[in-house]
Structure formats: structure tokens, C-alpha cells
Amino acid sequence: MSEKNNIRNFCIIAHIDHGKSTLADRMLELTGTVEARKMKEQLLDQMDLERERGITIKMQPVRMVYQPSISNSKFPNQAKISNEKKDDSNGNGKSFKNSDIENSLKIENLKFKVADLKDEYILNLIDTPGHVDFGYEVSRSLAAVEGAVLLVDATKGVQAQTLANLYQAIEHNLEIIPVVNKIDLPNADIKKTKREIVYILGCQEEEILEISGKTGEGVSALLETIVNKIPPPQGKPEKPLRALIFDSKYDTYKGVLAYVRIFDGEVSAEEEIFMMANGAKSDTLEVGYFKPNLEKTEKLSAGEIGYIATGFKSVEFCRVGDTITLVKNLKNGKKDELITPLPGYKEPRPMVYASFYPTSGEDYNLMRDSFSKLKLNDAAFVFEPESNLALGRGFRCGFLGLLHLEIIQSRLEREFEISPTITTPSVIYEIKLKNKEKRISIYSPAEFPDPSVIEEVYEPYVKLEVVSPTTFLGAIMEVMKNTRAEYKNTQYLEGERIIMKFSCPLTDVITDLHDDIKSATQGYASFSYELEKYQPYDLIKMDIMVGGEKVDAFSRIVPKEKAFSEGKRVVEKLKEAIPRQNFQIAIQATIGAKVIARQTIQAFRKDVTAKLYGGDVTRKRKLLEKQKKGKKKMKNIGRVAIPSEAFLKVLKK
Ligand SMILES: Nc1nc2c(ncn2[C@@H]2O[C@H](COP(=O)(O)OP(=O)(O)OP(=O)(O)O)[C@@H](O)[C@H]2O)c(=O)[nH]1
Ligand SMILES: [Mg+2]
């Protein structure tokens, strides 16, 4: 048996919150990958942002060493394929405890001294995010593995992202292991969840595993199934190197890192690599595995997943989807027809655009560098320079959704200490001008042409699929009535669950639909969407004036019939978001020259320093200093200082 036969590469996919990262925790424990004292919940969610929000944003690979004989002898009660009737769910002392983990670690350490233990397997796991805005992370993970564990929460059943991610896994020809999770919960409906899985996957009910990522029940059996069902990677170490870059990162110490799946060949430190798409060359500094922290190794070979510290000084040479080979494999050091690059990835299409402007002009270069580094770690994010009369030089940025935008904004603030002014997020409109053949694309409302030259405005529509228990059909219809969606049809997924299909303007989907659907269905319904078409609609541009000056960043495109209500809502929101200043400020919504809504922010009654009597200059200066600091995150529009978060706040209800 060649070494490679001992490798299994897989990812965990599911709808958001169905327990992927928690299951990964149990796998890390069972395989002794992470020391018990270092273990914490959702260990693979390593970014502060992920931990605070309790969601996975980035895919995270990790390499585990697994010995079935050890795990099984230690946890015999978990080794059964738990498809049999379960009667010990109320905890008869068999649940997974910390002491079990510690014992398993002792045995793990022992195995290196015992010669004749059964085979040892390398399991390369990639934990993926469940939120729709990070779908590109999932699709890139799928291309690096041979199998996928499809997790379904037994209290929630099949949801929109379960379907969307499953379809992607099927497209990649992956071996799919269906699993019902959270069976420890009293409201788990295992039978129903299984019926739904059988329906969507066309598998046998007996093939579906039952586990609890929380207690660890059934996880050993799952690991065994992974080894038995997922095929070992193909590919030959003796062939020329072909490594697929599925992610990348800027590391302060090691520079530009490429996260790779090696399909053929081998690579080690101090070898000259060649990027097949852009032709860049560099000497590798280091190669290694994810444990999940970076761990240096001698070489990476066919079938393995790891990282290459590329040695590139500049981030743009390392592109996700590119194939890395070795210069020594090339004829005359040039591209060689004999080495076929791997298929790579389709670039994702941004759904929303917003412009980011530094609050002070000097930060422009800093912002560009920060964006390049963020892009390296978030391939779905796009940006390009633009400039604006009022706001100066900045960047037009594309995102997969509003959460994606918020995450980039937060990362910019935390990792690079930049808090920019952000314009009202907008979808891409297409405009047919009078007497012009071709439509033009508009990425921000500020670019909207004068109405007199416009013949027709087109906006993007999506195919929207709402997955829900049948009982909420009426409630969902009620929510959809508030949008401009057109109902298409309803499909029965399995007895008690439906998929409702709509054609809906993208704008209506990205702003409040998620919250509205969740609250109307007690959190049980979910949706996914994909771009469908462009369709004309009677849309107009609404401007916002603050203190008599038009603020481009607040302009938005609205359906004509909603202009008044939107105008009223936005000025009210702004009144809350802009702090009082020492003069009165009028906030107005306008269409052309016409004011359609107005609010006034009253002035401060007194100067802040007025109460400081006498000549205590230092105190006075301190206070002014403090004020200045507070103002750092403000953007001055004319005389008015606007907090940078106000620009995003006004978008949501
Ligand atoms: N009772 C119980 N709770 C679980 C189980 N698995 C996960 N949870 C809980 O479900 C919540 C979500 O778990 P995560 O592991 O973060 O889910 P996820 O699928 O990784 O979520 P995303 O990565 O954001 O899509 C957490 O509060 C977990 O504690 C389980 O088997 N039983
Ligand atoms: Mg997660």
C-alpha cells in the first residue's frame, strides 16, 4: 500500500449553525490533534471576529492523525453505526467527558511505542462557513478534497444552505457522507431529518449517521466511515508538481502564504516555484501543515494539504485558483505544455458595491495596502481605486452581501486600524441612455446620470428559494408581499417541508429580508439566491442634504413609488446617527430639486469648554484633545462632522 492510501481529504458542509465547527472540535480531540488544555469551543474559528459573532467566516484546514483501533477501543460505545435505535440519549454515564479526552491523549502518545497497531490515517479536514455570504470559501474548499460530510441539525432539518452546499459538492463529484447532528437535544427529530436527507440525496436511510458534536456520540463511527467511504487521493509524487492554491494569507513572519492541495509531485523549502497563470517565480521559504497552527515539515507530497511560504514580496503574485509548479520541471524555465494547470476557480460575482474613503487623505496608500492583504485572505472581495469630488480618493469595493461588507469593514478596523467613510451599499444597475445602443453599468448611486438622458433603468433580479416547514407558508407570503418579489411556485421537499420560489429584485433581498423571514418563522425558514436577470423598473435617485450640502455617500436608488417613505425613514435614521453640533443642522431628502422629507438636529446649548472657568489651560487643552480624538472617526461634510458608521446604519430598517 502506498503511503497516499492513508490520506483522506474532506470538508464539513452545512447550513449556518448546524454544528460544523463543534464537530471539528470533537475530531480534534479524538485524534489528539490539540492538547486537552489548549482545547476550546469551536477551536477552528480562530479570528476574534468569528469568536465574537459565533460564526465561521473563513474556511480552516487542519491535519489530523487518526488510528481507528485506538479510538474504537477507547470509545466502544461510539463505534457502533448509530443507526440502530438509540435508547441512551438521556445520559447513562456514557457521554463524552473531558477525562475521556485526556485518556485518549495518553493512548495517542503511546501508539508511537507500540509497533503493531493497525494502520494510521492522515485526515485533512476543512471546516467551512455556513453563511451564504461566504459561499466562495465553501466552493474553494470543495475543489481541494475528495469527500464531504453533510451535516444536518436534527432540530432544524434541511435548510437553504444545506441544499446549496450539497449541490456544489455533487458538482465536484465528491463522496458525500450524510450525518444528522445534535441528536442530544430533546427536540431533535431524527426520523424526520433522515427522511428529508433521503429525499434530497437519494441515499438509503441506513447510510445516514447520527451524532452529537456536543457530547461526541457517534463521532468515532463517523471518522471510521470517512476512512472507509472517502476515496484516497489520486496523483503521483514522482510527477511534476501541481499544487492548487485554494486560499492564501499574509503572515507577519513568513510573508505570503499559499494554502495548497498537492495534486501531483512534491515541494519542499528552498525550491524555485513557478505560478502557472501569471508566470511569477520565487524561492520557497518553508512548507508545512495546519495543526491547525502552522507546523513546518520537510516536504509536501501528492495528496496532501498544507501551506507554502512562497517568498513573494508582493501579494498579487499569489492568486487563489492558480497552479504552482517547480521551475526545474519546466523546459527552458518556461511554461511547459506537458504540465496542465488545474482547473482553478470561477471568480465570484460581487452582489453589492460600496465605496470606502479614508477619513483623512494621507491614509489612502495605507488603505490600498490593507485591502491587498485582506484580498489575499478573502478572494471574494474586490476593490479598485476611484475618486469623488467631495470625498477625495478612495476605493470602489465589491462584496457577496452585507455581512461580507461588515466583516471587511471590521477587519480593516481591527487588523489595520482604519475606519473609513462608507457610501450606501448598492447593487449594480444598468442604464440605457437615450440614443445609445449599449447599456452602461452603475456601481454607485453617485454615478447615476441625469434623469433627462435616461431611457430605462434595469436592476438585478435573483432566483430566490425559501426553505421552510409547511406551517409558515402563509407567514412567508405575508413577508414577501412587502417586497417586489414575484411568486413562482412551491415544491414539497418531503411531507412537512417546502421550497418556495420567487423572482425578486436583489435590493429587496439584501437589506432586510433575512431578518424579516427569520422573525416571521421563528427562525425556521432560510433562503438562498442566485443572480437571474436584469429587468427594467421605475427607479429614481434620491439625494440627502446635510446642512445644505449634498452628501454623495448617502445617495441611493429607490423605486419611484417608495421614494417618500424611504426619504422619511432615512432622514429619521440620520437624525439619530449624527451627533449634535454647536449649530443647527437640517437633514433633507431630495429628488431632483424637490425636498421630500426633512428633520432638524438642534444645536448644543453651550460650548463644551465654557464651563472651564479661569486660566486652567492644560485642562482645557486636554478636553479639546479628547474631543479631537473622538472626532477621528468622523467625516467632515461642509461644516458637519458625520460618524463613519452612520453611512452603514441608515441602510437597515
Ligand atoms: N446541543 C447541541 N448543540 C450543538 C451541537 N453541535 C453544535 N451545537 C451548538 O450549535 C451552535 C452552532 O455551532 P457551530 O459549531 O458554531 O456551528 P457551525 O455550523 O460551525 O456554524 P457556522 O460556521 O457559522 O456556519 C453552537 O452554539 C454549538 O454549541 C450538538 O451536537 N448538540
Ligand atoms: Mg463554523
Task: Ligand 1, residue 56: give the atom nearest the CA.
Answer: 23
What value does the CA radius of gyration of the chain take, rounded to a whole number of Å?
28
In tens, the pLDDT along 364-407 reads 999 999 999 999 999 999 999 998 777 789 999 999 998 999 99
Q: What mean pLDDT is predicted for residues 183-202?
A: 95
In the reported structure, the alpha carbon of residue 150 is separated from the centroid of ligand 1 by a whole-number distance in angstroms of: 14
> Which residue has the least CA distance to atom 6 on ligand 1?
19
Tally of CB atoms within 10 A around 580: 12
Ligand 1 pocket residues where CB is under 6 Å: 14, 16-22, 42, 55-56, 129-130, 181-182, 184-185, 212-214
Statement: residue 533 has pLDDT above 60:
yes
Which of 22, 62, 193, 526 has most ligand 1 atoms within 8 Å of CB, for mutation?
Answer: 22
Residues lining ion ligand 2 (Cβ < 5 A) are 20-21, 56
Confidence of residue 607 (pLDDT cuts 50, 70, 90): low
In tens, the pLDDT along 61-88 reads 999 999 887 655 444 343 333 333 333 3
pLDDT score, position 314: 84
Distance CA 122, CA 303 (A): 10
Q: What mean pLDDT is predicted for residues 253-277?
A: 95
For residues 306 and 290, is the Cβ–Cβ distance under 8 A?
yes
Distance CA 310, CA 257 (A): 6
Distance CA 149, CA 169 (A): 10
In tens, the pLDDT along 176-185 reads 999 999 999 9
- 480: Cα separation from own chain's centroid: 26
Task: Ligand 1, residue 151: give the atom nearest the CA.
Answer: 19
For residues 283 and 272, is the Cβ–Cβ distance under 8 A?
yes
* Residue in 397, 349, 342 with CA at minimum distance from that of residue 375: 397
Q: What mean pLDDT is predicted for residues 254-270?
A: 96
List the beta bridge partners of residue 21: none
In the reported structure, the alpha carbon of residue 224 is separated from the centroid of ligand 2 by a whole-number distance in angstroms of: 22
For residues 264 and 242, is the Cβ–Cβ distance under 8 A?
yes
Which of helix, strand or coil describes residue 60? strand
Statement: residue 105 has pLDDT above 80:
no
> Which residue has the least CA distance to atom 30 on ligand 1?
182
In tens, the pLDDT along 206-244 reads 999 999 999 999 999 999 999 999 999 998 999 999 999
For residues 300 and 306, is the Cβ–Cβ distance under 8 A?
yes
In the reported structure, the alpha carbon of residue 129 is separated from the centroid of ligand 2 by a whole-number distance in angstroms of: 5
Write the Ramachandran bin of 317: left for phi over 0, alpha for psi from -120 to 50, otherwise beta. alpha
Cβ density class 82-96: b for 16+ within 10 Å, e for less? bbeeeeebeeeeebb
Distance CA 228, CA 240 (A): 29
pLDDT score, position 70: 63
> Which residue has the least CA distance to atom 21 on ligand 1?
17
Statement: residue 629 has pLDDT above 60:
no
Which of 17, 41, 161 has most ligand 1 atoms within 8 Å of CB, for mutation?
Answer: 17
> Which residue has the least CA distance to atom 13 on ligand 1?
19
Of the candidate ranges 37-41, 172-176, 246-250, 280-284, the one whose mean pLDDT is the lowest: 37-41
Letter for the amino acid at 414?
R
Q: How does DSSP assign 119-151, residue by residue?
A: --EEEEEEE---SGGGHHHHHHHHTT-SEEEEE
> Which residue has the least CA distance to atom 23 on ligand 1?
56
Confidence of residue 292 (pLDDT cuts 50, 70, 90): very high
Confidence of residue 117 (pLDDT cuts 50, 70, 90): very low
Evaluate the omega torsion of the peptide bond into residue 420 and state whether it is cis, within 30 degrees of 0: no
Q: From the CA of 149, which ligand is nearest? A: 1
In the reported structure, the alpha carbon of residue 542 is separated from the centroid of ligand 1 by a whole-number distance in angstroms of: 42
Q: What mean pLDDT is predicted for residues 351-365?
A: 88
Task: Ligand 1, residue 18: give the atom nearest the CA.
Answer: 19
Give 171's contacts (C-beta < 8 A, 6+ positions apart): none
Write the Ramachandran bin of 518: left for phi over 0, alpha for psi from -120 to 50, otherwise beta. alpha
Q: What's this model's pTM, rounded to 2 decimal places? A: 0.84
Distance CA 630, CA 611 (A): 20
Statement: residue 100 has pLDDT above 60:
no
Confidence of residue 493 (pLDDT cuts 50, 70, 90): confident
In the reported structure, the alpha carbon of residue 298 is separated from the centroid of ligand 1 by a whole-number distance in angstroms of: 36
Cβ density class 54-68: b for 16+ within 10 Å, e for less? ebbbbbbbbbbebbb
In the reported structure, the alpha carbon of residue 50 is separated from the centroid of ligand 1 by a whole-number distance in angstroms of: 13
In the reported structure, the alpha carbon of residue 20 is separated from the centroid of ligand 2 by a whole-number distance in angstroms of: 5
Of the candidate ranges 123-127, 199-203, 296-300, the one whose mean pLDDT is the lowest: 199-203
pLDDT score, position 616: 55
**Backbone dihedral angles phi then psi of residue 451, each to the nearest 5 degrees:** -55, -30
Share of the chain above pLDDT 90, in %: 65
